[in-house]
Amino acid sequence: MFTTSSIIDNLNQSEGLEYKKLCRSLKITKKSDKDKLNIALTALEKLEIIKQNKDNEYIYKKGSDHIVAKIRCSSKGYCFAVRENNKEDIYIKENLLNYAWNGDKVLVRIIKEGYRRRSPEGIVDCILERSNKILLSKVEIINNVVYAIPIDDRILSKIKLPKEDKKYAFKPENKNIVKVEIERFPIGQEEGLGHVIKELQLNNNEEFDTDFVLSKSNIIKSNNNIIETKKIEKRERIDLSDKNSYLFKSWNSDNSPILPMIQIEQEKNQSTKLWLHINNIAERVELNGKKSLEMFFNSFESFPLLNDWQNYISDEIRHASEFNLGEKNEAISICMHLNSDNEITDWSFHLTFVRCSLIVGNDHTEALLSRKSKTRITSRILKPIKEYIEDLDKILEISTSFRQRHLLEGKVEIPTPLNKIESLDEFFIHNPAEYSKGYFEPLKKDDCHTYLSPILHEGNLIWFKHSNEYGLKSAGYILKELDYINVNEMIKYSEFLGNDIELNEDGNLTFSQIMKFCDDDKKRILHKLLINEVKENEISLISKNSKDDESEKLFTSPWTLPGYDFTNLMNQYSIFNMIINGKKSKKNNINDINIMESNSWEKVNWDIFNSSISKNIDILFNEFIIDKLNEYKNKVTQYKSNILSLKKVRKAEKLLGNSYSGFILSVQSYGFFVEISELNLEGLVHVSTLNNDWYEYRSKQNLLIGRKSKKSYKVGDEIEVKIIKVDILKYQIDLELS
User: Residue 152 maps to which CATH number?
Assistant: 2.40.50.700
CB 263 within 8 A of CB 243: yes
214 located within any domain = no
Predicted local confidence at residue 514, as pLDDT = 63
Q: Within this chain, do residues 456 and 568 fall inside the same structural domain, yes or no?
A: yes
In-domain check, residue 222: no
- Is there a single domain that holds both residue 45 and residue 184? no
- Give residue-wise pLDDT tens across range 126-160: 898 888 888 999 999 999 999 999 998 888 889 99
Q: Is 648 part of a structural domain of the chain?
A: no
Question: 496 with 424, same domain?
Answer: no
Integer Cα distance of 312 and 293 in angstroms: 12
Q: From CA 106, how far away is CA 114, in angstroms rounded? A: 20
Q: Are 364 and 248 in contact (CB under 8 A)?
A: no
Select from 576, 579, 584, 577 the least CA-distant residue to 607.
584
Question: Per residue in 338-388, pLDDT tens?
Answer: 999 999 999 999 999 999 999 999 999 999 999 887 767 778 899 999 999
Same domain, 284 and 267: yes
138 with 119, same domain: the answer is no
Spatial distance between the Cα atoms of 285 and 292, rounded to a whole number of angstroms:
9
389 and 247 in a single domain? The answer is yes
**CA angle, 225 as apex, 223 and 230 as ends, to 5°?**
150
Neighbours of 314 (CB within 10 A): 19
Q: Is the pLDDT of residue 67 over 70?
A: yes
pLDDT at 476: 94
Q: What percent of the chain has pLDDT over 70?
A: 91
Helices (H), 100-238: 209-216
44-62 burial string, b = 16+ CB within 10 Å, else e?
A: beebebbeeeeeebbbbee
4-25: average pLDDT: 82
| pLDDT for the residue numbered 86 | 66
pLDDT band at 485 (very low <50, low <70, confident <90, very high): low
Lowest-pLDDT range of 37-41, 123-127, 417-421:
417-421
- Specify whether 324 is located in the same domain as 338: yes
> Angle, to 10 degrees, between the axis of helix 209-216 and the axis of helix 623-653?
140
**Ranges 83-92, 234-243, 266-275, 369-378, most confident:** 234-243
**Cα 673 to Cα 733: distance, rounded to the nearest angstrom:** 10
Q: Which uninterrupted H or E stretch holds 528?
A: helix 520-533
**Are 245 and 335 found together in one domain?**
yes
Q: What is the mean pLDDT of residues 581-590?
A: 82
If asked whether residues 408 and 296 sit together in one domain, one would say yes
Which long-range CB contacts under 8 A does 461-467 form with residues at least 24 apart? 461/556, 462/334, 462/336, 462/344, 462/347, 462/598, 463/334, 463/557, 463/559, 463/571, 463/575, 464/542, 464/555, 464/556, 464/557, 466/347, 466/349, 466/598, 466/601, 467/542, 467/557, 467/571, 467/574
Q: What is the pLDDT of residue 436?
A: 86
**pTM of this prediction?**
0.89
Task: For residue 491, name the pLDDT band (cuts at 50, 70, 90).
Answer: low
Q: What is the pLDDT of residue 480?
A: 74
> What is the reported pLDDT for 267?
84
Average pLDDT rounded to a whole number, residues 394-415: 91
Side chain identity, residue 584: K
Could you read off the pLDDT of 651-664 as tens digits, one per residue? 999 999 999 999 88
Q: Which residues of 253-286 are buried (b: 16+ CB within 10 A; e: fewer)?
A: eebbbbbbbbbbbeeeeeebebbbbbbbbbbbbe
Residue 511: predicted pLDDT: 59
Q: Inform me whether the pLDDT recorded for 720 exceeds 90.
A: yes
208 in a structural domain: no
- CATH for 669: 2.40.50.140
Look at residue 19 and give its three-state secondary structure: helix
Q: What is the mean pLDDT of residues 526-537?
A: 76
Label residues 688-708 b or e (16+ Cβ within 10 Å = b).
eebeeeebebeeebbbbbeee
- Name the E strands within 538-584: 540-542, 555-556
What residue type is 136 in one-letter code?
A: L
Domain enclosing residue 301, as ranges? 238-477+541-637
Q: pLDDT tens digits, residue range 162-184?
A: 999 999 999 998 999 999 999 99
Residue 381 CB neighbour total at 10 angstroms: 15
Query: CA torsion angle for 710, 715, 718, 719 (degrees, to 10)?
Result: 60
CA atoms within 13 A on the CB side of 186: 16
Asked whether the predicted pLDDT for residue 691 surpasses 90, the reply is no
In a domain, 211, yes or no: no
Does residue 303 register a pLDDT over 60? yes
Average pLDDT on 306-319 reads 91
Q: What is the pLDDT of residue 294?
A: 78
Q: What is the DSSP string of 601-633?
A: GGG--S-SS-HHHHHHHHHHSSHHHHHHHHHHH
pLDDT of 81 reads 94
Distance CA 687, CA 736 (A): 9
The answer to whether residue 221 is domain-embedded is: no
pLDDT at 507 over 60: no
Q: Please state, in angstroms and rounded to a whole number, the distance separating the CA atoms of residues 213 and 206.
A: 11
Domain count, the chain: 6
H or E stretch at 661: strand 659-668
Residue 444: Cβ within 10 Å count: 18
SS3 assignment, position 270 = coil
Quick one: pLDDT at residue 727?
92
For residue 207, being part of any structural domain is answered with: no
The domain boundary residue, chosen from 533, 551, 571: 533
Give the largest Cα separation in the chain, rounded.
91
CA dist 399 and 409 (Å) reads 16
As a whole number, the mean pLDDT across the chain is 88
For residue 558, being part of any structural domain is answered with yes
Whether the predicted pLDDT of 416 surpasses 90: no
Write down the pLDDT at residue 194.
96
Which residue intervals of 133-204 are DSSP H helices? none
Considering the domain architecture, whether residues 373 and 498 belong to the same structural domain is answered as no
Mean pLDDT within 486-512? 57
| Alpha-carbon 227 to chain mean position | 22
Average of per-residue pLDDT across 306-316: 91
60 Cβ neighbours under 8 A, 6+ residues apart: 8, 11, 12, 49, 50
C-alpha dist (Å) from residue 105 to 12, 98, 460: 16, 13, 31
Assess whether 454 and 396 both reside in one domain: yes
Model confidence at 509: pLDDT above 70: no
Mean pLDDT of 101-126: 90
The residue from 129, 144, 173 where one domain ends is: 129
- pLDDT band for 529, please (50, 70, 90 cuts): confident
Q: Using CA of residue 531, residue 534, residue 540, residue 544, what is the dihedral sign?
A: negative
Cβ proximity of 353 and 241 under 8 Å: yes
What is the spatial distance between Cα 561 and Cα 312, in angstroms, rounded to a whole number? 12
Are 651 and 660 in contact by the 8 Å Cβ rule? The answer is: no
Which amino acid, one-letter code, is at 527? H
How far apart are alpha carbons 478 and 542 in whole angstroms?
9
Paired residues of 192 in beta bridges: 159
**Least confident range of 267-271, 403-407, 525-529, 545-549:** 545-549
Same domain, 523 and 585: no
Calculate the dihedral angle through the C-alpha atoms of 583, 586, 592, 597, rounding to the nearest 10 degrees: -50
* Confidence at 410, pLDDT banded by 50, 70, 90: confident
Classify residue 508 as exposed, middle or buried by CB count within 10 Å of its CB (0-12, 13-18, 19+): exposed
Residue 550 has pLDDT above 60, yes or no: no
Strand-strand pairing, 540-542 and 659-668: unpaired
Over residues 74-78, the mean pLDDT reads 80
The per-residue pLDDT for 677 is: 83
The sign one gets for the Cα dihedral 506, 510, 516, 517 is: positive
* pLDDT (mean) for 317-341: 96
